[in-house]
Structure 1
């Protein structure tokens, strides 16, 4: 069976979630204990349902070396940051859409270097054009993004975010910020809260700063390059992501729907130029597949 046919079959099979109830469970309990607010504007960190007792240890380990963060600790950090993202906007109520994005994301993640992570994909109910990832296998896209792309483009975006997780880009950025003293500032800002919230606040403050400022340009370029290859391995048109970048290139920086993405990523033209050099014509034979609207998959 060809990769493209297999990808489509798995999206329509039991590869992902079998029911709406399973979809809710697969979102990792993020619907609990979070408060809606403006997307990454004046973020108030949600209090985790069960704050980890070793959050202070996590921050200390981050400040020392990313290599000291094993997968269990990575997933704990990711769980807290995922709660932060899910707390900034509610999850979209369309469970069919949530199931579809989970199936698509999980299929793509199986082609990557860390297929055994407990991957979770979710759609935030926000009109903006944004996508986010958190350590340990959490990936979010906004409804506004899904509405503006086809399946191959969405696959390219998810592959880009999956690459961030696979390469531990967010952990490395958090470690750099922790070493820069932001963790100490977070402790001071949380002193008026209780001890558990203060400890949790260290990680969340680092996360808020990270999602507001973005990753290093080198990390974004790597996620573009590896994401294109990952989407191709999953059976999707490798030019899906470049097509999205073409759309971003024409977006106006003062458009509030695109402002966060444009403000936290390298210029789209620069990303396209980097991809052109990396891709050349090597993936042309895998391109030219018919566009599949997301709405068609949801029927």
Structure 2
């Protein structure tokens, strides 16, 4: 698609256009995270950066018309993660990155999809949010990371995002919405620039709206179970939600996007309480690792 010129991408973290220092290109996302720090300015031009982002969006759409497989799900997730990294670079602290990967992979190993190429990262932004992409890609903002008081709370957040991936929440929504929104238009479209605009607009709108409430409640419930399986406090998500609610009252702008794409923390707490059983209640104990997060600030 060499005739594509430029597209502005609306994504979860921000609506800003890509710049040379922010864009990360696409592909090889997992390898990049393994070799942190990764936020050195690129030497490529802004035009090249935008073409890479367009290609990522187009690759996602290409995957929609293929027969579903784990490989295609992972490829779609790589492209979506690349789009997110186009607007918010990774935090430079390698110790934090490795720590979050350690915790995340431990929890993911307790899931029904332990063999996915699970990859975790902390974004260098003060906004408070967390994201997951198909195939095992999970990103949390430094703003959210700084709100967490214990490793149990970190496990709760990562467990929630891991549950989204396990249930293919984003993957299925993208498939469904793209087929409805694009229909035969994409197949009949000859203009590369128009295809890129359709791709980025559709994906940007989906990300901005977030998932439906039932998916968020399911991720809360299954996330705390996954964290408990890994030895963490099953009640930690309740404390995370309380912190989010308090922080939102102090600084509404920091949580604006999370509140726009997720049910209110108080409502999520109520839904969690509904599913608590004796096993979950028995696992509501601080883990031996709960204080370890203090060493990774």
TM-score (norm: length of structure 1) = 0.75
Which residue number in structure 2 is paired with residue 275 of structure 1?
272
Q: 2:52 aligns with which of 44, 47, 50?
A: 47
1:213 and 1:30 map into 2 onto residues whose CA distance is: 29
Say if 2:205 is the partner of 1:209: yes
CA distance in 1, matches of 2:185, 2:209: 17
Q: Is the 1:89–1:124 Cα contact (8 Å) retained in structure 2?
A: yes
Q: Distance in 2 between matches of 1:203 and 1:28?
A: 30
CA 101–70 in structure 1, closer or farther in 2 if over 3 Å, else same = same
Q: What does 1:1-299 align with in structure 2 at a 5 Å threshold?
A: 24-26=32-34, 47=52, 57-61=62-66, 68-149=67-148, 150-182=150-182, 191=191, 193=193, 198=195, 203-250=199-246, 251-252=248-249, 255-289=252-286, 291-292=290-291, 294-296=293-295, 298=296
Normalised by the length of structure 2, the TM-score is 0.75
Q: Unaligned stretches of 5+ in structure 2?
A: 1-29, 44-48
Q: Deviations over 1:189-209 (max 9, x none)?
A: 994639xxx46x655443322
Deviations 1:195-240 (A, max 9, x none): xxx46x6554433222210001111010001001000001100111
Distance 1:257 1:30 in 2: 24
Gaps of 5+ in 1: 1-21, 36-43, 62-67
The farther-off stretch of 180-189 and 279-288 is: 180-189
Residues 33 and 87 of structure 1, relative CA distance in 2, 3 Å threshold:
farther
After superposition, the CA RMSD in angstroms is 3.5
Aligned mates of 2:215, 2:36 — CA distance in 1: 27
